[in-house]
């Protein structure tokens, strides 16, 4: 009988046949002996996303509700691990990702949650430099406002006990729900940034539409972070 997983990795997906294979390849080839499970939560995909997930041998679940937040919530409800790891279908994690996460929690028992940064899969050097700068600014602002690191669902982990204690994701936040979750986790324990968790992400949200991206991001940050008000509908354009 297989060992009960220590870690549950939750990956929401919708029409991700192009990028999901490399995401799952990285997740299924982790350099660790720690028992873990991968849960792909599909949102009524019309392409080969279900077939790709099933072929990879991961747990496949369909969640009909639209929105990544529902994918994460459903994935947590199905998870068996004591550590919840979140990433997304357009992300590629390093082979050491799970080992790094578990090791960090073991060495830091007072830490409630951790998160890491990212660079793009395919981008010019200056674009990745800009990403690092912007993430640095975000991290500084999070420390200033919340006294904790930014929690980002594309690359993060939280103790299941902490998640349950704080009531999980708030469904009133359809954007920056991860920021809200991290803020509440910070009331239970520390939220740390872990450099060794850095992943590769897709630049599709900003590619060729940087200024449009800013017009989506800035009002959302003002409402959720500064005013601390729920955002009850998706503010970002749905791009695949």
**Which pLDDT band holds residue 137 (cuts at 50, 70, 90)?**
low
Q: In whole angstroms, give the CA distance from residue 108 to residue 192.
A: 10
Q: In whole angstroms, give the CA distance from residue 220 to residue 235.
A: 7
Q: 43, 20 in Cβ contact below 8 A?
A: no
Closest C-alpha among 127, 134, 113 to residue 189: 113
Q: 104, 111 in Cβ contact below 8 A?
A: yes
Q: Which positions ≥6 away from 207 have C-beta within 8 Å?
A: none
Q: Can you tell me the mean pLDDT for 132-148?
A: 66
Q: In whole angstroms, give the CA distance from residue 129 to residue 25.
A: 27
**Which pLDDT band holds residue 1 (cuts at 50, 70, 90)?**
very low
Helices and strands counted in the chain (H then E): 8, 9
- Cβ neighbourhood burial of 222 (10 Å; 0-12, 13-18, 19+): exposed
Pick 10 or 232 by higher pLDDT: 10
- Whole-angstrom CA distances from 119 to 51, 164, 193 are 28, 31, 15
Closest C-alpha among 197, 63, 200 to residue 122: 200
The pTM is what?
0.85
Across 38-52, 54-68, 142-156, 180-194, least confident range: 142-156
User: Which domains, ranges and CATH numbers included, belong to the chain?
Assistant: 7-203 (3.90.550.10)
Give me the chain's average pLDDT, please: 85
């Amino acid at each position: 009988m297989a060992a009960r997983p220590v870690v549950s990795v939750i990956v929401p997906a919708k029409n991700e046949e192009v990028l999901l294979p490399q995401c799952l390849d990285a997740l299924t080839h982790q350099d660790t002996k720690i028992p873990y499970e991968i849960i792909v939560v599909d949102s009524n995909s019309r392409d080969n996303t279900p077939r790709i997930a099933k072929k990879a041998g991961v747990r496949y679940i369909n969640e009909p509700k639209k929105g990544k937040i529902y994918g994460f919530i459903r994935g947590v409800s199905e998870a068996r691990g004591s550590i919840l790891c979140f990433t997304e279908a357009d992300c590629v994690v390093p082979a050491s990702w799970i080992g790094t996460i578990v090791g960090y929690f073991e060495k830091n028992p007072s830490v409630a949650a951790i998160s890491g940064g990212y660079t793009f899969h395919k981008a010019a050097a200056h674009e990745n430099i800009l990403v690092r700068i912007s993430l640095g600014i975000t991290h500084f602002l999070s420390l200033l406002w919340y006294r904790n690191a930014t929690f980002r669902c594309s690359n993060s982990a939280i103790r299941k006990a902490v998640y349950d204690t704080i009531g999980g994701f708030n469904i009133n936040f359809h954007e920056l729900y991860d920021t809200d979750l991290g803020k509440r986790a910070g009331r239970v324990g520390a939220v740390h940034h872990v450099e060794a968790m850095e992943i590769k992400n897709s630049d599709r949200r900003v590619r060729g539409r940087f200024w449009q991206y800013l017009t989506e991001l800035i009002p959302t940050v003002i409402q959720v972070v500064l005013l601390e008000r729920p955002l009850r509908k998706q503010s970002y354009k749905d791009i695949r």
